[in-house]
Amino acid sequence: MKSITQKSTSDAPVNVAAEVSRSTRAAERAARAGQWVESLRNSDVNRLWSELHRIVSNHPLVRASRSAGLLVEEGATSAYTDLTQELFVQLLTKSRFQHYLDTAMTDAEIECEIGQIELTNLLTAELRKRHPESYRLARRISTLIQSSSNFRRFDNHSNGNGDEQHRRLADRVYGLSEWPVSKPGRGSHEMEQRVHMIPVRQRDTRMVGCTGDAQIVISNSDLEDLIISVLDAIDGPADVRSLRSLVMSRLPVMDIYLVPLGGDEGDSEGPHIDPADVRENPEQRLLRHESEREAAGSVDKFLKNLRANVRGKAKQYNRMLGVLWHCYLSADHSTQLEVAATLGVSDSLVSDYRRRIEQELRALSFKEVEEARQFELALRERVRTLVPTDTQAVAV
C-alpha cells in the first residue's frame, strides 16, 4: 500500500508542469500584446487603430467567417478595414478606452478583453443579424452535443496535462457515446459524401421566439435524431465545426437579410439595383385612354339595351336606372325593400328590373378584369348624372 507521502510526491511533477505551462502561456500573451497603455495615455489614435486591425486580422472567428463567406467586405484593398473601424467606434462609444486606463489594466489584459470579449460579441451580433436561422441552429446543435448523453468527446483522452480541456468548442471532437475511444475519424470529403444519403428534413413552420416571428425549423428531439443519423452515416467522430455544417446541410435553412436598395457605396463590387419606376409611361397612358374610350362605348351600348328592354318607355327606363344605381352602383348598398320604398314601387318590380339588368350585364363580354373595372367606373359616372338628385339624396 502506498503512503500519503508517496502519493503527494507523485502528483507534484504534474502540478509543477501545469503551473509552468500556464505561466509560459501568460508570458507568450504578454510578449505578443501591443503597447496599449502607452498608446491610450498619449492618445495615439493611429497606433490604436493599427493594433485593433492586427487583432481583427488574426482573430480565428473573423478568418473562419470570412473564408466561409459569412462576412462580406465592401472594399477590396483591405479585407478587415470596415470591421476594424466598427470595433474602434464601438469601443470609443462605450468608453472602454477610458475604462482601461481607470482600472490600470495591463497591455495583455486589454488585448485579451478586446479580442475575446468585445470583438467576439461584435462578430456574433453581426452573424446573428445576417444569418439568423443558421446562427440559432448552430447554437442549438452545439448545446445538444454537449448536453445529451448520446454524445461524448473523443479528443480529451490523449494526455493528462489538461490542454484539451481548454480547446475551442468548434475544434473539439465529438461522437456517439457507444463508440470506442479509439474509433478513427474520416476526411471532410468522405463525410460530405456519406451525409448525402440522409434526406433533407421537412421544415417545421411553427412560430417561436419572444416576438413569435421566427419559425422553429426543427424540434430539439428531431434535431438530436438528425445529429445521431449524421454520425451514423459518417461512422466516425468529427469536430464540432464540421458536424454543425453537416447537420445544417440536411435542414431547409432560410437566412433572410434585408439590405437597402440604391446604396451609394462607390467601392461595392456587388450588383447595383435601382428601384422600379412605378410612374405611368407614355405607352401605359395611351392604353389607359384607349380602355377608357372602349369602356365609354360599352356603357352607351349597355344603356341602349336597357332602354330597348323596356321598349323605350321613359318612366320604366328611369325606374330601371334607379334600381341600377341603388342596387349595384351606390356605395350605400341598400336592401331590395329599401330600394322599393325609395323608388315608390313594389318589391316584385324591383326584383324584375334586377333580373333584366343582370341579363344585360351577362351579355357583355370583357377579356380582362381591367376592362370590366373601367366599365364599372364609367357606368357609375354616367348613371350618376341620369338618376334624379332627390332620389340619390333620399338614399343617403
Cα-based angle 331, 336, 341 (whole degrees, multiple of 5): 95
Q: Is the pLDDT of residue 261 over 60?
A: no
**Residue 2: its pLDDT value, please?**
41
CA distance 75 to 129: 20
More confident: 33 or 102: 102
Chain-wide mean pLDDT for the chain? 79
pLDDT-based confidence at residue 9 (cuts at 50, 70, 90): very low
- Which three cell numbers mark 285? 397612358
Report the alpha-carbon distance of residue 115 to residue 108 in Å, rounded. 10
Query: Helix-strand-coil percent breakdown of the chain, rounded to 5?
Result: 65, 5, 35
pLDDT tens, 28-79?
A: 655 566 789 999 999 898 999 999 989 988 888 777 666 655 555 554 445 6
Query: Residue 20's pLDDT is what?
Result: 47
- pLDDT tens, 329-369? 887 777 888 888 888 888 889 888 888 888 888 887 777 77
Spatial CA neighbour of 53 closest among 76, 17, 83: 83
